[in-house]
């Protein structure tokens, strides 16, 4: 089986310091959390920008500072969010892609998101795909429900994204696909055989979905963006602690963990 790529989603746009006092928010905190996740075994960090007061931002200069600070510490693959926060405009959301990070997310459909709507119109999705391609940034297709896989495949047919595709199944968002083993299997069976995939289980689904992905030959995303708890009612100490647990489980199950160099090879990031 391919080595296991672990992505750490460090901050997100929804969790606050009130929810988790050690949530990394400033560029220095995010860079330090990325470094600790890298030392723990993550090969990709998924990042979101925040202003000083914790408000989500897609401001290019905030992302520039975060990226420079992470790059000064380690060679982890940096994946910027183009999802940002619910309610942001497409123009705001796309900004960090122009910094030419190695990867960026690309959500291929609209989904209810708790009481909100995470809006991704067909024309915005196509424009995002074009911009990623223009800046040489590999998309990670963020799949919140099954139809989004097929929207992604339509982008491929139109020549707006290139193979090999990489999917991330975000499972357990209220409004999106529930995080069940059966649903995960269905999603895995719905993507092309040469595509890679990871799963991001939300909340208490993080650990079981990660374990399933390790067994099935997929990859794993963990981190405070998706889940702030280590066990029921007990906050995780850090992003790194969530990565460390996945590394331990992978080792027990005989799956080797990918370095960033391995991950670049697996994802086709090396030209």
Q: Interface with ligand KMH by CB under 6 A: which residues?
A: 12-13, 81-83, 85-86, 105, 107, 113, 118, 142
Phi, psi of 230 (to 5 degrees): -90, -50
Count of CA atoms in the C-beta half-sphere (13 A) of 2 = 20
Maximum C-alpha span of the chain: 46
Minimum distance from residue 221 beta carbon to ligand KMH (Å): 11
171 within 8 A of 205, measured Cβ to Cβ: yes
Minimum distance from residue 81 beta carbon to Zn ion (Å): 4
Q: Which listed option, ligand KMH, Zn ion, none, makes contact with residue 142 (CB within 5 to 8 Å by class)?
A: ligand KMH
Minimum distance from residue 44 beta carbon to ligand KMH (Å): 13
d(CA 177, CA 171): 6
Q: What is the CA radius of gyration of the chain?
A: 17
Q: Which stretch binds Zn ion (CB under 5 A): 19-27, 67-75, 76-84, 85-93?
A: 76-84
d(CA 176, CA 39): 32
Record the tokens describing residue 25, joined without a space: 């928010």
Residue showing the smallest CB distance to ligand KMH in the complex: 83
266 within 8 A of 196, measured Cβ to Cβ: yes
116-118 vs 111-113, strand pairing mode: antiparallel
User: Whose Cβ is closer to ligand KMH: residue 27's or residue 56's?
Assistant: 56
Q: Which listed option, ligand KMH, Zn ion, none, makes contact with residue 113 (CB within 5 to 8 Å by class)?
A: ligand KMH
Of these, 7, 43, 81, 151, which contacts Zn ion (CB under 5 A)? 81
User: Whose Cβ is closer to Zn ion: residue 81's or residue 151's?
Assistant: 81
Q: Which listed option, Zn ion, ligand KMH, none, makes contact with residue 85 (CB within 5 to 8 Å by class)?
A: ligand KMH
Q: According to the binding rule CB under 5 A, does residue 110 interact with Zn ion? A: no
User: Whose Cβ is closer to ligand KMH: residue 35's or residue 113's?
Assistant: 113
| CA 154 to mean position of chain CA atoms | 21
> Among 211, 238, 234, 271, which Cα is nearest to 4's?
211
User: Whose Cβ is closer to Zn ion: residue 15's or residue 149's?
Assistant: 15
User: Whose Cβ is closer to ligand KMH: residue 118's or residue 197's?
Assistant: 118
> Among 108, 104, 109, 103, which Cα is nearest to 93's?
104
Q: Which listed option, ligand KMH, Zn ion, none, makes contact with residue 107 (CB within 5 to 8 Å by class)?
A: ligand KMH
Handedness of CA 107, 149, 169, 177 (dihedral sign): positive
User: Whose Cβ is closer to ligand KMH: residue 39's or residue 86's?
Assistant: 86
User: Whose Cβ is closer to ligand KMH: residue 86's or residue 249's?
Assistant: 86
Interface positions with Zn ion (CB under 5 A): 81
């Amino acid at each position: 089986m391919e080595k296991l790529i672990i992505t750490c989603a460090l901050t997100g746009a929804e969790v606050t310091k009130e929810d988790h006092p050690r949530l990394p928010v400033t560029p220095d905190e995010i860079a330090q959390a990325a470094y600790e996740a890298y030392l723990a075994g993550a090969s990709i960090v998924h990042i979101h920008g925040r202003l000083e007061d914790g408000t989500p931002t897609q401001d290019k200069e905030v992302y520039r500072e975060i990226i420079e600070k992470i790059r000064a510490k380690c060679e982890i693959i940096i994946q910027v969010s183009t999802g940002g926060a619910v309610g942001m405009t497409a123009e705001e959301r796309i900004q960090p892609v122009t910094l030419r990070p190695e990867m960026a997310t690309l959500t291929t459909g609209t989904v209810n998101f708790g009481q909100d709507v995470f809006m991704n119109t067909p024309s915005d999705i196509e424009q995002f795909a074009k911009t990623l391609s223009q800046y040489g940034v590999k998309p990670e297709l963020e799949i919140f429900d099954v139809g989004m896989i097929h929207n992604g495949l339509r982008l491929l047919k139109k020549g707006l994204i290139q193979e090999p595709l990489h999917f991330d199944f975000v499972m357990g968002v209220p409004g999106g696909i529930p995080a069940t083993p059966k649903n995960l299997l269905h999603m895995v069976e719905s993507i092309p055989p040469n595509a890679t995939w990871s799963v991001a289980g939300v909340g208490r689904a993080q650990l079981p979905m990660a374990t399933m992905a390790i067994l099935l030959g997929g990859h794993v995303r963990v981190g405070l963006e998706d889940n702030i708890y280590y066990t029921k009612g007990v906050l995780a100490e850090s992003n790194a602690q969530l990565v460390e647990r996945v590394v331990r489980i992978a080792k027990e199950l005989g799956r080797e963990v990918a370095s960033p160099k391995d991950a670049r090879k697996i994802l086709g990031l090396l030209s």
